[in-house]
A and B are shown apart, each in its own frame.
Chain A
Amino acid sequence: AQSVAQPEDQVNVAEGNPLTVKCTYSVSGNPYLFWYVQYPNRGLQFLLKYITGDNLVKGSYGFEAEFNKSQTSFHLKKPSALVSDSALYFCAYTGVNRDDKIIFGKGTRLHILP
């Protein structure tokens, strides 16, 4: 089955340190990959997407993600974490067909420690 996996339920990072939130995918063909962030009691906010082209994608709030085809990964990264980055992060993908739905991972809770 086609899916995305977020292997970590929670990630703790000290403020100012680099952060990585992991995502791997298992899809046939070329995936379209996304990262969304969800703050408490709020809907999801789009961060960035990979469609094609450069493997390093830059997005909102200083986040970036690297598409790695050989490792089937799309990890979210930020060079220097802020306390305000603490939230729930979802990796998602959709396929190339018009009827393909967006499939979300189960989410990773990111805690930035002051």
Chain B
Amino acid sequence: GAGVSQSPRYKVAKRGQDVALRCDPISGHVSLFWYQQALGQGPEFLTYFQNEAQLDKSGLPSDRFFAERPEGSVSTLKIQRTQQEDSAVYLCASSLQGTGGLLWANQPQHFGDGTRLSIL
């Protein structure tokens, strides 16, 4: 398909386990974003890539969270030693290029359907 693809759609893990969430952006999209959406809340920014470079990781809640995009396309969000408060929907979005300001505004982000992570 032509949209952003995320896998798995649902993930259940025991507290303390490591998890890896995958995002396949739209082909040709330079920018890739990860968001965390807690129940009943709006998405909150985690991190941003421009091609393979992670330009902003200020939203990652702790050093247990790690994201990579080694070849500038597929991205993986890894959470180590999961805690119950990590339970949320993790959304990936991509856009042609740019972040913030007029560049972003002219090229809205395209979101995947998310991965619902439940930590028991």
Contacts and interface: CB of A to CB of B under 8 A. Distances in A.
- Verify that A and B bind, or say they do not: yes
Interface of A: 32, 34, 36, 41-46, 49, 51, 90, 92, 94-107
A49 B95 CA distance: 15
Contacts of B102: 32, 51, 96
Contact of B111 (A43, A49, A94, A99): A43
A102 B109 contact: yes
Contacts of A41: 9, 113-114, 116
Interface of B: 4, 6, 9, 40-45, 48, 56, 59, 91, 93, 98-106, 108-114, 116
Given A51-B106, A94-B104, A106-B41, A43 B99 contact: no
A49 B108 contact: yes
Given A43-B111, A43-B112, A107 B41 contact: yes
Contact of B99 (A51, A92, A98, A106): A98
Contacts of B112: 43
Contacts of B56: 99, 101
Given A44-B111, A101-B59, 15 more contacts: A36-B111, A90-B42, A90-B43, A94-B101, A94-B105, A95-B101, A96-B100, A97-B101, A98-B100, A100-B101, A100-B104, A101-B48, A102-B45, A104-B43, A104-B44
